[in-house]
Amino acid sequence: MLGACAAFGGSLQAHAEANRVTFPKLDELVHYTTVRRGNVTEHISTTRAAIEAIQKGLTVPNGTHFVLADYRDEKIYRYFVMEKGAGWGADFDERRRTGDWQFQWYWPDRQINLKENTSRCMSCHSSQKERGYLFTGGRLSEFRGKPVE
């Protein structure tokens, strides 16, 4: 879902832009996969409804959050949040849309990280259109209660 593109988010000078993404209640999400890259560990979580939908071959419902918790040297560094809402794609020029998904970066204190480039998120996730804009959707199909690595 998030993975590789999230890891490169801070490399450009563009900044976060206003959008509809909200920071979810983390304790209501299910940790379904972990991705490791050197000193970076990404724990990715989503809603139980999203997991059930994907496992049944359905689309992810509106209101779904995906959260990538980015740890550096075993300490939370930042969060990357994807949220889907009905008609949210219309907030952006057609060439930038990723369905009805919007993206936002947050600091560990859950304040928006204005230094990150949300346009890059949209550009990268657009490559996953056939997979519902998710990089780790396949791992959701494999999830059986223990995070897939």
- Whether 4 has a pLDDT exceeding 70, the answer reads no
Model confidence over 72-110: pLDDT tens digits? 999 999 999 999 999 887 777 787 777 888 889 999 999
- Topology of the domain covering 3-142: Chalcone isomerase (3.50.70)
Where along the chain do its domains lie?
Answer: 3-142
Mean pLDDT calculated for residue range 5-25: 64
Tokens of 113: 């990280």
Global pTM reads 0.84
d(CA 75, CA 40): 9
Indicate the helix (H) or strand (E) that contains 148: none
Backbone angles phi, psi at 41, to 5 degrees: -125, 130
